[in-house]
Homo-oligomer: A and B are copies of this chain.
Amino acid sequence: MEVKVVQNILKVNEKLADENRKLFAAKDVFVIDVMASPGAGKTSTILATVDSLKDDVNIAVIEGDIASKVDAEKIQEHGVEAVQINTGGACHLDGNMIQNALQVLDLDAIDLLIVENVGNLVCPAEFDLGQSMKLVISSVPEGDDKPLKYPVIFTQADALILNKVDMLEATDFSETAFEEGVRRLNPRAPIFKISATKGDGVEAWTEWLRERVDAASK
């Protein structure tokens, strides 16, 4: 009984996500679903990405949070459009919330739409938004065992960012253990090691992303 209801919710979501996906394709918009633990640096990574690409790429951001609008305000200060979704307690974004947010965005004026999901390594993995790719951010202070403990989200990632590499020396994080953990679940997704706030490694990530955005608009 319970399971059936969950399946229905996921089925309805899949339909809405497919509608989003068709709309994004028709409008040549490349869409990233950014997923991570609370405090892994989703907003900082988005800000670094925006600063690196905004002169050449038209970017907009959808910020998903249970409460508050601080993240959307931070993004707007960097000169790109940002829409805040407050989920009112829900632990993830879904296709319907994205449809609502799209009503206030002009997709004809956007090449890259970055969606920051709710900070959570579990629930967001279950809900398709119609995105072009899923980006999972893990951060050094969280520890190198996160792939082992939260396997679904690491399996689904199209690209991974290991953030806060400036803290490697202050922790016992093993890059080898982390990479082995990821590779057991996900043989192909590239892993970009960055410090979003200090700038290390950001260019390799944004150059890789720029190629995908360019390909989507051709």
Contacts and interface: CB of A to CB of B under 8 A. Distances in A.
Interface string A175-207: 000000000000000000000000000000000
Contact of A68 (B120, B148, B152): B148
Interface stretch (A45-53, A107-115, A138-146, A210-218): A138-146
Enumerate the 10 nearest inter-chain pairs by beta-carbon distance, A residue then B residue, closest first: A39-B142, A141-B141, A91-B122, A37-B38, A39-B143, A68-B148, A5-B5, A37-B37, A38-B121, A91-B123
Contact of A121 (B120, B141, B146, B150): B120
Contact of A9 (B2, B89, B142, B143): B2
Given A91-B120, A170-B170, A66 B151 contact: yes
B148 A67 contact: yes
A123 B90 CA distance: 8
A119 interface: yes
A46 to B, nearest CB: 14
Interface string A138-179: 010111011011111000000000001011001000000000
A70 B149 CA distance: 9
Contacts of A166: 170
Contacts of A5: 2, 5
Interface residues of A, number: 34
A135 interface: no
A118 interface: yes
A123 to B, nearest CB: 5
Contacts of A28: none
Contacts of A145: 68, 70
A65 interface: yes
A116 to B, nearest CB: 11
Contact of A66 (B89, B91, B150, B170): B150
Given A70-B148, A91-B91, A91-B122, 7 more contacts: A38-B149, A67-B149, A68-B145, A68-B148, A118-B122, A122-B123, A141-B141
Interface string A18-40: 00000000000000000001110
